[in-house]
Structures are given as C-alpha cells and as structure tokens.
Amino acid sequence: MKMRRMKLRVNHRQLQFLSREEKSGNFQKEGTLGVGRQGGDLTERFCRLRGNLLFILKEKGGKLEQVLLMEKCEVMKLPGGNTQLAVSVVAMAVRVQVQVCVIDTHTHTVRKYCCCKMENADVGVFLTSVCFRGDFPLYHHSRIKVSVYHEEEELPIHTARSFLGFTSFSIRDLFKSKEPHISLSLRTMDGVNEAGEVKVSRLQMEGENEDQTSPEHKCPELCDSLHSSVHDKENSSTMRAALCAQVCKVYRFQTEDLRWLLVREQMSETPLSFSLPKQLLSALIREHTSRVREVRELGDLSPHWDGLRHDVINHCSHLIGCYQGTLSELDKLSVSSCFKSSSSKSDKHLQFVPTNLHAQRMEVTAADSTGVWYEVITFGAPADHHQAFKHGGLKRLLGKHTNQTDSSVSYSEDERCRARELLSSVAQLQPLVFGLAEELLSVSQEQNSTRLQHVLVALNQQTELFVHALKDELVKSALLAIHYQFTANYNSSHVHSNGLLCDNTPANQDGETSSGQQEAEYDEEEWDRVWANVAKSLNCIIAMSDRLQGREERPQDQTPSDQQEVTAGDTNSQNTVSSSFSSASSWQEQLLPLVVTLRDCVREAVGKARAAMTFVILQGAVASSVARGPTQIVQRRHAVFSQALSAVVCGFMLKLLAGLEDPEFLQQLLSVGVLVQFEVLLSTYGDEVGMLEDMEVGVTDLSGVAFTVTEATTEQPEDLLPTLRGAWGCYVVEVPLPPETYTSLPQEVKEGRLIRVHPVLFNIGINQQQSLAERFGDSSLQERVNLQSCERLKVYCQTLTDRAPHMAGIQSLSELLSSLDRCLETRKRKNVEVLWIAATVCRQVNGVRLTSCKSAKDRTAMSVTLEQCVLLRDRHTLSQQHFSTALDYMRRSRLSWGQMLGCYTQPGVSVCGLDSGECPPGPRGSWSDSCWAPKAPRRHLYPVAFLLVTSHLLVLWLILSLVILLAKYQ
C-alpha cells in the first residue's frame, strides 16, 4: 500500500488505546501489509482497520506509527506486478493556508507578502491566487518561499494552526518550465523529510497559445509584465496616471461546462481625489475674485445699488477666504496622499474631497476569449459631513431659502459679458463723440469747408458706432426689468451688509426720485426713441453744415421728423444768419444749438444704458452669490459637487480608455452624451436623509458638466490628469490623451466637441434604519428621487434610440424600462430590483456606474461583490454551485483590503492578504475572526414588545405635542 502523509491534530492517547485493544472483533480487518510512500520502497507493517481508520503498527502489539483516514482512496495496480494492488490514500487538510514570502537573494532577507486559503474544497485547487502589485520589486532571480499550514476550527479570539511544510522556487524556474505549472515537494521544518506536494501554476487559461519564444528569452519579458501588473493589457500611461495604490486578487471559478474562468479583481485609489477638488477650488476663487472686481469697477452707484454691491463683495470675500485656506491645506496633504478615509469625512479641510473613492475593476478571461473588464466607482455618498445634518440636507435648505427670498431677474454669463462690453464701448465712444463735436465748432470758425467736412465724417462714423452699440435688446429688456422690480418692491426696505437701510423708492442712477413715476406705465418704446434722437441730432448737424456750405439739400428730401428737428433747433439762428454766410461767428452760432442737442441726447442715452447694464451686472452678481443663499449653503453645495465630480471624472476616464477603439461608442458620446448612474444605498431615516438630500442636489448640478478630449503635451503623469475650466454651472473637464492615442481618434473628437453628462440617481435603503423609516417614518424622498431619475433615464434612452437605432442591445431597452416602471409603481419595501434593472440599463448603454452608501464600506462592498458574481453567472456561465463560493471569496477580499468593517488602510498604503494573526491599524479584537468568516446579515426582526412600546411612545409624543401647541396659541 502506497500513501502520502497526512497530519491531523487528534487525541493521541485515544488512538493508542483503540489500536491496542485485545479483542480482534473490534477490527474489520487486520494483518500484514506493505506500507510506503509513492515511488519508494514498501515496508511490512502490521495494520488494523476499524471503520475508516487504518492503524499502522511496527509489529503486532507494538508501537503505533501512523493512523490513516481511509477516505477518497484510489485502488490501482502496481507496475510490474500481476497480482499486487495498491491503495493510494491522498491526505489533504480540510482547512489549508498558504503563506507566500519573497526572499531577497542579495540581502538574504525574507519579506512576507500575502496568504491565500482553501476551505472545504473537494479538489486541491485554491480559488484565490497570489498576485503581486505593480510596484512590488520582483525580478527573475527572486525566490518565493511557500509555507503551508493546517488551520483548526476557529476559536472566539484567534485561529490555531499547525505547520505542515515549506518549499521555495525562483521566478526563473517557474517561467522556464515547459508546463504551465511546477510540482514542488514540501519539507518539514528541519528540511529532511517530505511532508507533501505543492503545485504552483502560472496564470494561464485552457487553450492559451504558447509563445514560441525560448524559455531563456521569455523569462525576463514575463517578469517585466509581472512587475508591472499580471496580464494588464491596459497598463498605459493614462491608466497609470488615473489609478494608484492598486491591490489585486485573482480567482479561478468553474463554469457550467466544467471549464475555468480566470477572474482578476482590482481595487485602486486615484489621484483625482485631490486633483479635481483643488482645481475646482482654484476655479471658484478666480470666479469670485472676478465678480468682486467686476462690481467694484461700476463706479459710483445709488445707495440701494451700492448696498447690493456691498452684499456681493462681502459674500464673495468670505468664500474666497475659506477656499484659499482649504486649498492650502489640500496642497500640503496631496504631497503624501491621494485618499480620504471614512474616519476623516468630517474634517473641515477635507470637505471637498470624496470619501473612500476607489475604482473597482474586474477582468474576466475565459478559455476562448480575451479579457473583459467591468468597472464601478465606489465612494462615500457626496455630502457635507462637516456641517452635519441637523437642519437637513441641501434640498431642504435651498427650499427654505427660496421661500424666504424674493424672486429676481437672473442673467446668464453671456448676457453679463455683453453688458460689460456695452459699458466699455459706451465709455470709449462718448468722449470721442464729444471731442469731435467740440472740434467741429472750432473748425467752423475757420470757415474751412474741407476740414469741416473731414471732422463731420469722423463724427458721423463714431456716432453711428455709438448708436449701433445702443441698439442691443439687452438694454431694453433690462430697463423693463428695472421698472417691474421697482413696482414689485415699492415702499419696501432692505438692510444691506454694510448696515445701510435702503427704501426701494423710484430712483435713477443719480439718486433723483419721483413719486409720480410709481403710477406711470412704462413705455417700452421709450428706449428706441432715446437712441433714435442721437441719430436724428447728428442728421440735423449734417444738414446744417451742408446749408452753411451752400450745399443744402431740397426740403422734400428730408423726412418730416428731420424737418421738425432742424426747424426747432434752428429757429433762433436763422434770424441772425446773413445771406452771404461770410461771418465765422455765424457758422459757429448756427451749429452750437445742434451740437448741444447732440450732447444732451448722448448723455441721456449713456445714462439709461449705464443704468441698465449696471443692473444686469449687479443682478448677475447677486444671482450667482447672495441669491444662492448664505455662505454656509453655497459652500456646502460646492463641496458636495466637488465630491461627486471627482468620482464621475474617474469613471468617465476608465470608460473612455476602454472604448477608444470602438467608433460606435465614440459617436454615442458626441451625439447623445454619457449616462452616469448613481446607485445609492442610503436609508431615509436620521442623518442619512440629509445625505440623500445633499446628494440629490449634487447629482443635479452635474448636468452642467461636459467633457472634451485633448492632446497631452507629454506622457508624464501630471500632464495626463484631467483639467477643469469654466465657471459654476458650465464646467468643462478636459481629458488629455497621449499623442499616439489622440492621433488615432476620429476627427469629430479631435475638434473638441463637448460630451454632455446625463446623471441619474436611484436609491434603495437596505439597512435596519430603512426598516424603521418604512414602518414609522417617511420614504417619500426616495420615491421622488427614483421617479425623477426614471424619467430622465427614459429621455436619454429615447434620444439614444433615435440617434443610434442600430446600436447593439438598443432593442431591449424598452422592455427594461417597462420593468423599471413596474418596480417603482409596486412600492415594495427594499425593492433592490430597481437597482439591478437600472444597472443593467446603464451597462447596456455604455454608461458610468457609481455605487455609494454612507462611507462606501459594508453596504457598498456587499452590493459590488453581488453585482460581480451576477455578471459572472449571467454573462460568463458561472456554475450555480460555485456562485456562493465566489461571492464568499470576493467579500473576504474586501475584508482583507479594509473596505468592509471600516477602511483601515492608511493614506498611500494598501492592505493585501492579511494573515489571521495580523490586524491592520484600527480597532482590534475579533477583526480577523470577522474577516475570514463573515457572518450573513441578520434579518431585520423586531420583537412584538418593541413594536408595541414604540407605537405607544409615538402616540404619547403626538399628545404632548398637541398640548404644547394649544398652550402656545392660547
């Protein structure tokens, strides 16, 4: 009988007693057998079989040498023997742990790397494999030490284990092997005896074509690929710039057709966690600084408008100070970190940084296909934890502020730019017109017709430019808005930030008031007459000049209105003009009244235009600062938007890099835009209601964001990071690509066309707080958010269907959207099917997926791992019997990485494959127990007594509230 050794921790005294019992009836068989290891010599030993235990004694009644567990035995014929049979006993520990260490051959030091386990497996295949990070110093001469342990049943505090054996090999030996694996013998601690066998396999799938390169030349190449990232075909410069601090886990799962799937899970941090918030803060500082400079350049204003200007300056100056302090703190932190842990989510200086932002990527490689990537971005729900949620989130706070403030006219950035340009043009042209008018009077004394004609031509040109600038409809609409605002706020007062109490009485820019204007109706044609009077005054001057020079045109050539203007302006001068026109003073006297009229008309037009454009600029400044609410609300909104923007940019970069070679996908981005789906697992109870309200506003603000693709100057990581430009409400994120990649893009993409963002948000609470909210609280916020997002999702899908009817999978969208509608109408408790259908639609239209809960730990990890296993089952035929195993192993990876049960990773340091005796920085105790054996979530069962007490307390609270209200109003 040949065997391989098995080591068990058993009661040795009991075994000795069982093997020495004198009654032979207690044994099924006993006698002499040849015992030895496979491939070795056989030695005769006295054996006794009792049940499935085979006792091997040196001689009958002698010392017990070994006990074999006769399970999974294989009977085979010995080579060279006709009658001899052999029973091969495969000894395999039920719970095995493999510890991998790297031996530095130069310094002869051992560095522990990670561990992997096999539990209750019916075959000797480890489902979790060892994968080295890209920054790990691994070369072809490096040696790997493998230590194998047998783990006992887990105890309440720690897990006991016994050493089985160890072996070592070099990377060169692994890659030189003709087979995709090498077999190594385990040795005991003293290195003398064999303790078993370990098979080390390369990451090679069935049917993979072997490279024809000789092993000698292939080893360094394979080591280089291993050093960067195993089988990472997307190890481009852009990917290295977008992702950092990667941790990886590799699995092998069996499909329904009994073939193997190679699954690689990768979780990465990203420098965008700090890069985008810093750029946003800089843009906000520039925007508010420009607004302050803009209103200060308006010059002297009336008391009411000066008070508005003071409000804007105070509001913007406060935000500039706060943002400059935050930016300086982020500059210090971003030098050594690119990650914000959940324990820091309430820090003031990290208010703009997303919490636990990770790129969760899964690559699936089958035997007959290349790797397929699935990405999802996970991060803590974008919310302002620093200001907390005592008074609710952004949606509620903005609603209160909107109800308290009066509606005012708002102007776009383009209209404000036009107003600034018009003010600049008027300020430039008015002195020119006045100067040329004075020069005309001076030249008239010389009676020089040539010079007079030159000056008149110049005056005509500048006046025409002046009138053309005044014809802008913005001036007319602004004057009308001033009248309507005054009528609405007549006799009201307002205290500005400078302490000035202003009554909203009818006042122009010079402070003149008129009580009679209150009842007067505003004439919309008044502004047209104002700028028309300037042109008519100029025509009168030209006509008079022609008359003085003897070139007066016929009266019938003039319009009746021109004749009236000329007659009115020239009545007194005609009585004193001589028939010869020889006196120089008579020329000046004839032109003087007309020049004065022109000046008056210009002054009137300038005054009204300046008042209108000042109103536009002030109203725009107020609408983009003071009207948005107190500085705390504005800062909260900016912080929430910053967190959401960082996550979206990271997801878009991964999606863009994955689809650069797909022209249909690129055309979809240009014609329809990119869908961004937020999957949220927040409850509608307690503080998480405020988080959901914050997130709702932040996701809505993303509608004003657009992407564009640019060419990077170099391939340095800092030059490949996205850049932000624009102002609030119309930000554009420029995604640079290496020159080689950028050149291969379609011309439409290289022209800089914008890629619009279409965000949707679906929330389903799944924790115990949501159970309370559904029983005793209010979940209307969740229902409203889901319904609105469903409508936006329908609009996007309909647009995509109209513009890309032949896109793959487009026909199934209508059925999925109908299912989503039905799920929302049923209003089922914790209806996670809503999230599954929304995620399916998002993947069908090549959208960006983001998953969030409060801190992106437990709930997020459970959701992501479930989604990954469902993808393996539905798209890669993962066998149903391995579904639970795959889910269990993936969730254990999240525990070892620190994503679940608290994010224990320090900034810039990744936790990978922790030993059961090691605990990462953070809470200690039963961490390892929970890490390696996660308990299934308990059902949300509430005792009847608790429900009865809760209902009675609710009734008591209602009665007391009613009593207090009655006492208050009596």
Catalytic residue numbers?
Answer: 853
Cβ–Cβ under 8 Å, residues 618 and 390: no
Give the Cα-Cα-Cα angle 216, 219, 225 (nearest 5 degrees): 155
Alpha-carbon gap, residue 795 to 800, rounded angstroms: 9
> Coil, helix or strand for 216?
helix
First to last CA, the chain: 100
- Tokens found for residue 107: 């310094």
Angle of CA points 896, 899, 904, to nearest 5°: 75
DSSP 3-state assignment of 186? strand
Looking at the chain, the number of H-run helices and the number of E-run strands are 26, 26
Burial tier of 754 (Cβ tally within 10 Å: 0-12, 13-18, 19+): middle
Q: Please say whether the beta carbons of 873 and 867 come within 8 A.
A: no
| Joined tokens for residue 766 | 């799944």
In this structure, what token pair is assigned to residue 79? 């080579």
Q: For residue 595, what are its two tokens?
A: 């020049």
Half-sphere exposure of 493 (CA within 13 A, CB side): 6
Yes or no: say if 797 and 783 are a contact pair by the CB < 8 Å rule: no
Instruction: Concatenate the DSSP letters of all residues of 838-862 into one string.
Output: HHHHHHHTT-EEEEE-SSSSHHHHH
Across 478-544, where does the E strand assignment appear? 493-495, 501-503
Question: For 387-435, what is the HEC assignment?
Answer: CCCCCCCHHHHHHHHHHHCCCCCCCCHHHHHHHHHHHHHHHHHHHHHHH
Look up residue 777 and give its amino acid.
G
Nearest one of 785, 758, 778 to 681, comparing CA atoms:
785
Q: Rounded to an integer, what distance in angstroms lies between the CA atom of residue 342 and that of residue 354?
A: 9
| Maximum Cα–Cα distance across the chain | 160
Residue 741's CB is within 10 A of a number of other CB atoms, namely: 19
| 600 half-sphere exposure, CB direction, 13 A CA radius | 10
Strand-by-strand arrangement of the 755-763 sheet? 128-129, 244-254, 260-269, 358-365, 372-378, 848-852, 674-680, 755-763, 706-711, 732-737, 723-725
Residue written as token pair 């049940």: 51
- 467 and 535 Cβ atoms separated by less than 8 Å: yes
In sequence order, what E strands does 499-629 have? 501-503
Give the Cα separation of 652 and 788 in Å (integer): 23
- Nearest CA to 913 out of 896, 895, 898, 933 is that of 896
H-only helix segments in 297-376: 303-333
CA 962 to chain centre: 46
Which amino acid belongs to residue 471?
K
Distance of CA 453 to the CA centre of its chain: 67
Are the C-beta atoms of 210 and 202 separated by less than 8 Å? no
Q: How far is it, in rounded angstroms, from Cα 417 to Cα 970?
A: 57
Burial 653-675 (b: 16+ CB within 10 A, else e): bbbbbbebeeeebbbbbbbbbbb
Positive or negative, the CA dihedral 394, 767, 270, 344 is positive
